[in-house]
Chain A
Amino acid sequence: DAGITQSPRHKVTETGTPVTLRCHQTENHRYMYWYRQDPGHGLRLIHYSYGVKDTDKGEVSDGYSVSRSKTEDFLLTLESATSSQTSVYFCAITGTGGDGYTFGSGTRLTVV
């Protein structure tokens, strides 16, 4: 979707290395989210943000941290990547009230 972009689209990294994924939005939406998608588990919420510098944990937050220093950018960091973090990561945005969610195109991360 034109209003939300993720980078990189693909990444292969080694176990134990730090990795940062970026989500950028041009919609000025307040809320931003990171999900991971795995076969058999569907989409699960990792972390979310409800404003600049305001973040909270989701269902599967262990091993991940996030930061939001500007409204438009939400970063997801794997401090020390593990093979269990091999997944497809999606960023999403939404406004308040009855707005729907818009998802980015995803980042396919492989930890070897």
Chain B
Amino acid sequence: RKEVEQDPGPFNVPEGATVAFNCTYSNSASQSFFWYRQDCRKEPKLLMSVYSSGNEDGRFTAQLNRASQYISLLIRDSKLSDSATYLCVVNLSGGYNKLIFGAGTRLAVHP
């Protein structure tokens, strides 16, 4: 089983749509969780950290379910500029700064 699993997509959605990405992780002792965004041929950029209580940043909402070992990202009112690959990232406990990246979910927003 992969340590971090994501649906690779692609998700093709029209502008203004709401889209949700899911991610599962295998290590129940994982402590920190993130969503990164990576544009084509560019470096990953931190989108948001994921807190236990869930958190929101503008059109983006992240949720964490520790019991199910599941992380989600919701994007509301999609923009063309949201087109990118979204990476689910988990910080393993014990390796206190060892991030494990999922393979990413590709999002394509069309007019």
The answer to whether A and B interact is: no
Using CB atoms and an 8 Å cutoff, list the residues of chain B in contact with chain A.
none
